[in-house]
């Protein structure tokens, strides 16, 4: 019996020291969770009231507030949200496909033959079907005209050699 009492007498101070270490560890763990929640909510929200609420939850409810904070916090950081919004804006711009003049970079309509700002020729009319076609195309995709055969319009109305069409003329330019 005396051996057990001696063992317990020697064990009590060790258990006290162990209890102090465990208690100190739990206090440090609680303080670290408050700091972690503070840093995390600052990355996830710019609203001060949300930040105060989240930190108070973890501070006032040790070890219970942290799981609640993890459940209730916003899913994305402010930086992730900003990057996502930027990506969506660029995708939206790509889908809209705005037409701009290659010369002056101002907005134009897709069927403009001439830029109304800098008077750059953007497209030409097909000699066969009179539809607007790109300047780089050698054949009209609508009627197949490659410009080598004389059209009915050119046979009926003779043109002066070197005449500039009024639709494509720049202000102040006329026939040469």
State the alpha helices, DSSP H only, in the chain: 2-44, 48-60, 65-72, 78-96, 152-156
Q: Worst-scoring range by mean pLDDT, 31-35, 49-53, 103-107, 166-170?
A: 166-170
* Whole-prediction pTM: 0.49
**pLDDT tens digit sequence for 49-106:** 999 999 999 999 988 999 999 999 999 999 999 999 999 988 887 776 678 888 888 8
Mean pLDDT over residues 19-48, rounded?
96
**C-alpha span between 115 and 123 (Å, rounded):** 10
């Amino acid at each position: 019996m005396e051996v057990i009492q001696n063992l317990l007498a020697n064990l009590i101070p060790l258990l006290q020291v162990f209890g102090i270490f465990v208690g100190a560890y739990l206090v440090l763990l609680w303080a670290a969770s408050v700091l972690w929640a503070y840093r995390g909510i600052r990355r996830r929200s710019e609203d001060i009231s949300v930040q105060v609420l989240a930190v108070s939850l973890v501070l006032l409810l040790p070890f219970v507030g942290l799981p609640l904070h993890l459940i209730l916090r916003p899913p994305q950081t402010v930086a992730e949200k900003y990057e996502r919004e930027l990506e969506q804006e660029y995708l939206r711009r790509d889908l809209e496909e705005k037409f701009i003049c290659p010369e002056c970079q101002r907005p134009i309509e897709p069927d403009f033959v001439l830029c109304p700002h800098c008077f750059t020729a953007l497209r030409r009319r097909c000699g066969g079907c009179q539809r607007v076609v790109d300047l780089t195309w050698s054949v009209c995709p609508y009627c197949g005209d490659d410009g080598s055969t004389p059209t009915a319009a050119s046979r009926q109305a003779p043109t002066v050699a070197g005449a500039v069409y009024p639709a494509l003329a720049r202000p102040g330019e006329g026939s040469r």
